Amino acid sequence: MNFDFPDEVKAMQIQADDYLTQTNARAAARHVIEGAPSAARRDWAEMAQMGWTGLIIPEHLGGNDIGYIAQCALAYELGRHVSPAPMASSIYLVAEALVRYGSDAQKQKWLPALAEGRISACFAEAEGLSQGRGDLCAAQVANGVLSGVKKPVPDGMDAELALVVAQEDGETGLYLVELQASGVTRQVVQTIEGIREHAAITFDKAEVDLLVRGQTALTDIKQRAAVCIAFEQVGGAQACLDMAVAFAKERFAFGRAIGSFQAIKHKLADMFVAIELARSNAYFAAWALSTDARELPVAAATARLSAGKAYWLAAKENVQTHGGLGFTWELDCHLYYRRHKALKLLLGGNRVWENRLIDGLKSGLVEL
Amino acid sequence: MDFRDTPEGAEYRKKARAFLEQHAQLEPPDSGRGYRDGNDDPAALERAREWQRIKADAGYAGITWPREYAGQGGTTLEQIIYEQEEAQFDIPRGNFFYIGLGWAMPTLFQWSNKEEILKHAGKVLRGDEIWCQLFSEPAGGSDLAALRTKAVRDGDDWIINGQKIWTSGGQYSDFGILVARNDTTQAKHKGLTCFILDMKSPGVEVRPIRQMSGDSHFNEVFFDNVRIPDSRRLGEVGDGWKVAMTTLMNERYNLVELVPPDFEQIFHLAQNTVLESGPALDDPAIREKLADLYCRAQGMTYTNFRTMSALSQGKTPGPEVSIGKLVNSGRLQESADLGSDLFEQSGMLMEEDMPMRALFQRAYLYSPGWRLGGGTDEILRNTIAERVLGLPQDVRLDKGVAFKDIPTGPTGN
Ligand SMILES: Cc1cc2nc3c(=O)[nH]c(=O)nc-3n(C[C@H](O)[C@H](O)[C@H](O)COP(=O)(O)OP(=O)(O)OC[C@H]3O[C@@H](n4cnc5c(N)ncnc54)[C@H](O)[C@@H]3O)c2cc1C
């Protein structure tokens, strides 16, 4: 039994932590939210050089194919540093979809560029208020062109490529769209997160390239991405706990460190417990992802629900532990509080995943 | 990354499984497994004893004990593997021997001598000797070191006077590990000493206490000039706190075990229940609760995998081992609550005709005890905050003060 990251993955994780600390990913996140997203672009190219964008891309397509476990470990660090890098959009979702469903030509065209960090990509599913199920979306493809509006699209302003969820002849499909082509206009939209730029993308008879048809493929891609995102969530929660613990040891009130007050102690202990449960569930999901196990749907839902719960507890109680300071723009607590909400909503909220989980158990996907 | 057994682990699991299949039946999820064997029923004790003998004969008792003390000399990992397998079978589940097997004997291994250990080890393994833990007192529970039972040296003996409380299984026990105060002029953790007490000694009186669940598993134990020979002292005079901590560490570690109902049982119940609004499993509120219980159950299962990984690589498990009892006792209470709700109005009826209902009702009534015994939820949170997260200790009014000068409440406790 080795229910832990292998040593080489741990080494990569340390390297990632070093890089994100040196380049100050949190400050980069702050730049984006303050309207200067430029640094994020430079970091993206450097991350590609370190091989972070090629972990699940085969070597003959420019990747390093190190695998999902490494990608999950990296996701943990990105989440811990609230990095604004478009990793979830470009890699967990779009590269993943290309690897699994792309034709040789599609893979050749896009995967090397993604692996090398020459481009980034976005996943365009939501449609404002009518978002959610692929089979309810309004974006339509007919005669090889797409019309409709997608918003918010995380990382949509910078991306060269979009993977768009749309309907064609009453069926859901996933389509590749080049965003510099004609018939595409983009506008920045404000979101509750703000740490990644979000776009509203209008397609007006934009040319598309069909990747794959069917709700099943959409569900598959989202649940695979959910595993990596669960690691970002656990990482974010851990960062909140670390901040709160450090502050609780330093801040004095009534002549003693606030960390000696039990109300604070118990809060932080509860965060620890929730995070450890979430971490364990995420490990199992990483295993299921890396081995294509039949348990994956249940494992992904479990990891996502439990990571979301831990992150929520940690993000809000970190603000609380910091007192008035925690409520300021200047402190980083709010970056995590915001990111928590974005990660929880991206890919669908709790109801969606509770249903996946219970339906998976009902159909006997896992042994109880 | 994988969570398969090591080849040796797999081999061990196979053997354990074969043993269990030979001697017991697998239990279906609707059997209400776990509700029957109370802890204050002499017939349950006999059943448990018989099963313990079968295990001992086959080498599945004292798995981690040293061979020189009649144990198997096995690993913690093997112990866990065996428990995982056993949990699936219909075996007597009365809890009579766990203190002796899991906590008391390991304390003796560390603090007693070979001659003394050999007097007990074989009998404990076969369920022929039952042990209890004489720690808590009316004046010392969470704050165990506030205990007052006195030990006074008299020649080769010690004379014990005072009272213990909440002593699980005291009414059946042959021996107990006792911690008592030998010096009230020292600070409270310093004047303590531990002993092996023969429960049949003159002057020991055990009075069962009725619990909120209706049964009487724990007791008051009174000592009236009870004599203990000095040869039965554990550790040095004044080292009682250290000795007691060994026992408590073993206690925390072992309490990670599962108590029914487990998730399979609550899920099975929900799957077979139709409410006014339709099938229970289609109800979003019930789905939400079940999903949350599943996340916690699996979170514990996989956390145990992490512990097992560390153990199988010869490493010390990380701080995640400290969450087990806190998580398990909380979800036990919540699934008991949800389960009994699913029976709607009939959930009130306590007739034993439906094993599943009885299981959830019993769990509803005994789960509060799990949040208290072996360290309360609050104490466990303190421990995580201080030992794992490194937060400063609470302000303490009794620090460095001689025991006799420490303030007490209006009732003297
Ligand atoms: C089913 C069961 C079996 C038991 N078996 C045994 C046994 O075999 N042997 C034995 O020696 N003991 C046994 N106990 C006793 C058990 O260890 C104590 O009940 C427990 O340690 C709590 O002590 P107490 O009952 O004195 O409660 P108290 O310590 O008085 O606690 C009362 C409340 O105050 C809280 N509290 C106390 N101190 C703090 C603090 N520092 N911070 C925050 N909150 C605090 C507690 O969490 C609790 O909620 C058993 C108890 C139960 C319920």
CB pairs under 8 A between A and B: 161
DSSP conformational letter for B141: S
- CA dist A36 and A25 (Å) reads 14
- Contacts (Cβ under 8 Å, ≥6 apart) of B114: B68
Q: Does residue A15 sit in helix, strand or coil?
A: helix
Atom of ligand 1 nearest to the CA of B142: 29
DSSP conformational letter for B182: S
- Contacts (Cβ under 8 Å, ≥6 apart) of B119: none
Q: Does residue B154 sit in helix, strand or coil?
A: strand
Looking at the complex, report in whole angstroms how far the Cα of residue B326 sits from the nearest Cα belonging to chain A.
9
Looking at the complex, report in whole angstroms how far the Cα of residue A84 sits from the nearest Cα belonging to chain B.
28
Q: Is residue A367 part of a domain?
A: no
Query: What CATH number is given for B255-388 in this structure?
Result: 1.20.140.10
Active-site residue, B8 included: no
Range of the domain at A74: 7-115
Residue owning the nearest CA to atom 51 of ligand 1 = B373
Mean pLDDT of A230-256: 98
Angle between helix axes A262-291 and A296-321 (nearest 10 degrees) is 150
Query: What CATH number is given for B132-238 in this structure?
Result: 2.40.110.10
Given the structure tokens 């509203």, which residue do they identify?
Answer: A200
Residue with more model confidence, B44 or A265: A265
Q: Is residue A1 part of a domain?
A: no
Closest to B369 measured CA to CA, from B192, B166, B102: B166
Please report the pLDDT score of residue B250 as a whole number: 62
Every domain of chain B and the residues it spans: 1-94, 132-238, 255-388
Q: E-strand spans in chain A?
A: 121-124, 140-142, 145-154, 161-168, 171-178, 184-189, 198-207, 209-213, 252-253, 256-257
Tell me the pLDDT tens digit for each residue of B34-71: 665 666 678 889 999 999 999 999 999 999 999 999 99
- CA dist A252 and A44 (Å) reads 40
- Contacts (Cβ under 8 Å, ≥6 apart) of A229: A75, A88, A92, A304, A307, A343, A346, A347
CA atoms within 13 A on the CB side of A95: 31
Give the total number of structural domains in chain A: 3
Q: Is residue A339 part of a domain?
A: yes
Q: Give the pairing type, strands A161-168 and A121-124.
A: parallel
Q: Is the pLDDT of residue B254 over 60?
A: no
Please report the pLDDT score of residue B304 as a whole number: 87
Q: Are residues A223 and A349 in the same domain?
A: yes
Q: Is residue A368 part of a domain?
A: no
- Contacts (Cβ under 8 Å, ≥6 apart) of A95: A53, A56, A57, A111, A114, A115, A121
Please report the pLDDT score of residue B36 as a whole number: 58
Tell me the pLDDT tens digit for each residue of B183-194: 999 999 999 999
Q: Is residue A166 part of a domain?
A: yes
Q: What is the pTM of this model?
A: 0.95
Choosing from A198, A213, A228, the residue where a domain stops is A213
Q: Is residue A2 part of a domain?
A: no
Cβ contact A4–B309 (<8 Å): yes
Q: Is the pLDDT of residue A258 over 80?
A: yes
Q: Is the pLDDT of residue B224 over 50?
A: yes
Q: Is B168 in the pocket of ligand 1 (CB under 6 A)?
A: yes
Q: Is residue A68 part of a domain?
A: yes
Does domain B1-94 fall into CATH 3.40.50.300?
no
CATH number of the domain encompassing residue A303: 1.20.140.10
Q: Does residue B65 sit in helix, strand or coil?
A: coil
Contacts of A287 in chain B (CB under 8 A): 1-3
Given the structure tokens 């971490």, which residue do they identify?
Answer: A279
Lowest mean per-residue pLDDT among A195-204, A331-340, B32-41, B86-95: B32-41
Residue owning the nearest CA to atom 52 of ligand 1 = B373
Q: Is B34 in the pocket of ligand 1 (CB under 6 A)?
A: no
Candidates B27, B46, B251, B344; catalytic one = B251
Q: Are residues A317 and A222 in the same domain?
A: yes
Looking at the complex, report in whole angstroms how far the Cα of residue B285 sits from the nearest Cα belonging to chain A.
10
Q: Are residues A234 and A183 in the same domain?
A: no
Q: Is B247 in the pocket of ligand 1 (CB under 6 A)?
A: no
- Contacts (Cβ under 8 Å, ≥6 apart) of A164: A124, A125, A139, A146, A150, A174, A175, A176, A177, A203, A208
Tokens of B54: 């079968």
- CA dist A335 and A28 (Å) reads 11
Tokens of B351: 């007739």
Closest to B178 measured CA to CA, from B159, B202, B194, B160: B194
Q: Are residues A152 and A172 in the same domain?
A: yes
Contacts of B263 in chain A (CB under 8 A): 368
Tell me the pLDDT tens digit for each residue of B352-407: 778 888 889 989 999 999 999 989 999 999 999 999 999 999 888 888 899 999 98
DSSP notation for A77-91: HHHHTT----HIIII
